[in-house]
Amino acid sequence: MSADDPTDDDDPLEDAEDVRNRLEQEADRAVEQFDEGIVEMLAWVLDTETRARIYVSLRQHPGSTSDEIADATGLYPSTVREALAALHEEGKVTRKKRESDGAGNNPYEYSAIAPSELVETIVGDVQAELNTVFNLDAHLGDVGPDEDADEPVTISVEDATDDDE
């Protein structure tokens, strides 16, 4: 093929553009899969996908109102309000009244607790459930409780640090 041939498709700028577009698409897909993985894991911790999506939204945008969370997550406002009430009661989100200069209704602003605090809230529950399973025979009355088996499972949580650097 000659340099004058219009069928010659070796334009380096177009090739670079194609590569960049493919990389951006793959990066977007990877982020989406990562986000979905996080939501799935949090759904296990927080009981439902709805609550997990609200938690993630609040971690990204602390101080959001229920309407702002509904807009950010695509969930129905009534669903968001119900889930927020339960999460607040469980201590997994905090709330305070939004300050306003004008008269009128000041909605609550919500923020999610830190992930490390979230883990701490569930560790006790998981530990108690595991201990119940390990001590099932004693609870059922089939055998006497083993003196060493009262609390066979202990879960400790420590914050990760960068001491190795």
Which residue bears the tokens 């004693």? 138
Instruction: Name the percent of the chain lying above pLDDT 90.
Output: 30
Give the residue with greater pLDDT, 116 vs 27: 116
Give the residue with greater pLDDT, 23 vs 149: 23
pTM for the model stands at 0.62
CA 125 – CA 137 distance, rounded (Å): 20
Does the pLDDT of residue 2 top 60, yes or no?
no
CA 54 – CA 71 distance, rounded (Å): 11
Does the pLDDT of residue 165 top 50, yes or no?
no
pLDDT, tens only, 9-50: 567 777 777 877 777 776 666 656 666 777 777 888 888 999
Does the pLDDT of residue 148 top 60, yes or no?
no
As a whole number, mean pLDDT of residues 159-163 equals 59
Q: Is residue 59 within 8 Å of residue 39, measured between CB atoms?
A: no
- The CA distances from residue 68 to 71, 77, 82, 86, in Å, are 5, 9, 15, 18
Does the pLDDT of residue 72 top 90, yes or no?
yes
pLDDT at 163: 55
Does the pLDDT of residue 131 top 70, yes or no?
yes
Average per-residue pLDDT for the chain: 78
Question: Closest Cα to residue 81, out of 70, 71, 90, 95?
Answer: 70
pLDDT at 153: 66
Does the pLDDT of residue 137 top 60, yes or no?
yes
pLDDT at 42: 81
**What residue spans define the domains of the chain?**
18-113, 114-160
Decide yes or no: CATH 1.10.10.10 for domain 18-113: yes
Helices (H) and strands (E) in the chain, counts: 6, 2
